[in-house]
Structure 1
């Protein structure tokens, strides 16, 4: 069994095994004609359940053959131009190269004596991102597993900076738009705040937080004797890609001495854009910022970070263990990343972004993100001109929310069911994948455009497929009624 350990004596075995895996994946990608096979859970589950994990196959070739049956054949392929579902991007090759390197070396980014150069690379990328945001010379941050963890850590810091005793946590309030990410509510619960801690602020017709409503909510909070702990500003909402008015909200946060957190998990790609960087004007005033490189920097999952304006606030995540990072190490200026992180063992995910920047540069990333934003603008024009569809809001970045509206008479509930059916039928066909959401209490569909290979022709074809499935459902519904 030692022959399977990666070390100096098994380097050739490693090379051959990984090369075979790369060849298999490359062949699969080259042959992929649709984003999904259309298989359902009842068909795939028995194949996986039938595998006896206590009886190994003995070699990697056999395991790859089996993997083709239980995973590769039926995987959802984000690189396909008609994958238009969630915030999943196709990945760039330099980042995949970085993934291969970091997996093999297997550095752990908690302490210097487990990572050395990896620690310095991660720190340099944090500094680079903070410079792009404009947070100032005292900024710092840490890589995380994703936007949910980044938002949670930011709100943990905000809670501690509010300087409220634990018995008074029920007085703390977090303000965020009604279109913000669910992780805000989840974080409040995990942080031990009261059920009314998150105040939902109304949005305008463009799905941006209404600053007048925020001002009233902050005033009411103070008047009631509660404490405005934080305002979570969204720069790229999950459904609409909307960007809250950053400068105006920053002014209110300063007025009410409230922590300003910007959730730019989606919109962070604008940091690399030469055309649209202005959409993030005001982000430099934030106390903390979430960025998800695995959304709009075209990085493999996971690759995220939380940045802070004042590195001193990261002390709220610091605990010292004698076996790992004793206090004397900080006094000796040994750079242990665990001092800033909620995690202990942590992958060297920063290497993927490092390799991307060293091969493509920030402008290369920005150009790709600008392409999908341009595509969304074209998609908006297509939808706005098509009487079959009701489109909600003109995109700021790269999402389109819409719903099919039949030409004939149909009740709102029937239209909801037709749109739900169209999404499900499209997924089952494997020809394309779109997402779904609700606007008000009505069912809508969503195109999340993060693939520069997607074209307007692809969007038009998917819209025709949606229309066909919805019409088929409504026709069958009429037949059943008669």
Structure 2
């Protein structure tokens, strides 16, 4: 029987001419719904109360099968219209970017082709394209001729892989111990990973997953701007060694989540070389500055790091998820290699990317970067970052000139931290004043007026803008500040 005569044929994309009417109709309807959604969007969130949204979603009867056209309409009405609209000027909370059209278009190909990036016979052109983009990346970051990399789901996976390679490298160089074959060495409980107290939480999470435990992570204090104290780092390395502990790696950050701070990468990597430690740079946020002619000097030292995390779904404006781990010496990927007859067959001349990945099935995300670099260009991306950094400084100035707010510190990248000025505090205690900021942020979100973030610095809770959309202008913030002031006044009157 011809496969097109199957009772399920209409549910799949078919090869051959004239066999995809249902796919074409569904695609056209979805596109039209999405176009209308964005055309009518006037708030970053619909304002539907969370309890009502949950009830509406949970009331869906999954046993009731409907034509795909009706499901698309329901999805648009229930899910899409109640999503967080990252394209809206007042959605400015997290490292969550509006995606480039080129990336969205690439997703059509990625989803329809459904290539599995583990073996060449499942992803022929895709395998070569990912390696092509990786080669461009290691050249862009000046990591040298022996460098290599692999696409990941993002910073969490990249950081885990970088520290996993660091652990295995240290055991091999310290005592010729093979963790892949024999598990953690007897001195495993002495291994220590050093990072700043503003590093991403995935450093601790990675240590836990690697069997070292969260207590294996030692945090070094930072300055007011959130940058690691180099002198404190050196003292920490020497103190750990004096305690008969084994520092194995230092994690530097190029763009912390809270401050957008960039550590002294050159100084940290130099210390790692001096003491024989692995240097890993979490560049998920700020690593994109390598494309900025004006600001890439701030990443000096990244070219000498042993491993680097890069997130493309942040300042490269790719759809979620999309990241990479780059390593200076590709031989270190050998600790991830595992032979499977059905994937990496002996004698094959064809590359299998599973050999350097902790994931087996992996998406063809490199296509998004390819289409973006070809249609937008690295230079234009760099100019977007220059605009964001300039705008962030202007927004910080606006905060300083506004009697309703006070600035935490000058922005280093594109993050602006601020809080309500002291006249809003009145008789509130410090804890109650912090709670007021939390309530304010939540009210802005659930009303649909604005999506902003919060964080704590030295016990004080600050509101946070993360500027990622290069299309924003200073006037967008005038109206946003007005919304914050309006909600703050109402809450303060209630509190007092």
Q: Same fold (TM over 0.5)?
A: yes
Aligned to 2:36: 27
The correspondence for 1:297, drawn from 296, 316, 325, is 316
Task: Say if 1:294 and 1:303, in contact at 8 Å, map to a contact too.
Answer: yes
**Runs of 4+ with deviation above 6 angstroms:** none
Shift of 1:195: 4.0
Aligned to 1:419: 437
The correspondence for 1:12, drawn from 4, 18, 21, is 21
Give CA deviations for 1:374-407 in whole Å, capped at 9, x if unaligned. 2111111111222322212211210111111242
Aligned to 2:408: 392
2-structure distance, mates of 1:388, 1:172: 48
Task: Say if 2:34 and 2:76, in contact at 8 Å, map to a contact too.
Answer: no
SS in 2 for 1:192: coil
How does the TM-score come out when normalised to structure 2? Answer: 0.93
Task: Say if 2:247 and 2:277, in contact at 8 Å, map to a contact too.
Answer: yes
1-structure distance, mates of 2:188, 2:99: 42
Shift of 1:106: 0.6
Task: Say if 2:148 and 2:330, in contact at 8 Å, map to a contact too.
Answer: yes
SS in 2 for 1:295: coil
Task: Say if 1:421 and 1:469, in contact at 8 Å, map to a contact too.
Answer: no
The correspondence for 2:389, drawn from 357, 373, 380, is 373
Aligned to 1:89: 97
2-structure distance, mates of 1:387, 1:170: 52
Aligned to 2:242: 223
Task: Say if 2:193 and 2:218, in contact at 8 Å, map to a contact too.
Answer: yes
Shift of 1:274: 2.1
2-structure distance, mates of 1:477, 1:194: 43
Aligned to 1:160: 168
What is the 5 A alignment of 1:197-212?
Answer: 197-212=216-231
Shift of 1:32: 0.7
- Which segment is superposed worse, 167-176 or 302-311? 167-176
Q: Find out whether 1:66 has 2:74 as its counterpart.
A: yes
2-structure distance, mates of 1:195, 1:414: 31
Call closer, same or farther: CA 1:158–1:295 in 2, change over 3 Å.
same
Task: Say if 1:141 and 1:308, in contact at 8 Å, map to a contact too.
Answer: yes
- Which segment is superposed worse, 214-223 or 389-398? 389-398
What is the 5 A alignment of 1:77-476?
Answer: 77-163=85-171, 165-326=184-345, 328-329=346-347, 332-407=348-423, 409-410=426-427, 411-476=429-494
Task: Say if 1:82 and 1:454, in contact at 8 Å, map to a contact too.
Answer: no
Call closer, same or farther: CA 1:455–1:192 in 2, change over 3 Å.
same
Give CA deviations for 1:274-328 in whole Å, capped at 9, x if unaligned. 22111111110100000000000000001100000000001111111112213x1
2-structure distance, mates of 1:415, 1:459: 23
- Which segment is superposed worse, 273-282 or 121-130? 273-282
How does the TM-score come out when normalised to structure 1? Answer: 0.96
Shift of 1:19: 2.0
For this pair of structures, how many residues does the alignment match? Answer: 474
1-structure distance, mates of 2:471, 2:133: 28
1-structure distance, mates of 2:294, 2:28: 39
RMSD, aligned α-carbons = 1.3
Give CA deviations for 1:455-476 in whole Å, capped at 9, x if unaligned. 2122222222222222222211
2-structure distance, mates of 1:134, 1:160: 24
Return 5+ residue gaps in structure 1 as ranges: none
1-structure distance, mates of 2:485, 2:36: 33
Shift of 1:369: 2.1
Return 5+ residue gaps in structure 2 as ranges: 1-7, 172-176, 178-183
1-structure distance, mates of 2:213, 2:158: 21
- Which segment is superposed worse, 148-157 or 468-477? 468-477
- Which segment is superposed worse, 162-171 or 254-263? 162-171
1-structure distance, mates of 2:295, 2:494: 46
2-structure distance, mates of 1:134, 1:393: 32
1-structure distance, mates of 2:298, 2:482: 32
Aligned to 1:54: 63
Aligned to 1:44: 53
SS in 1 for 2:218: strand
Task: Say if 1:406 and 1:415, in contact at 8 Å, map to a contact too.
Answer: no
SS in 1 for 2:338: coil
SS in 2 for 1:407: helix
SS in 1 for 2:219: strand
SS in 2 for 1:84: coil
2-structure distance, mates of 1:191, 1:40: 40
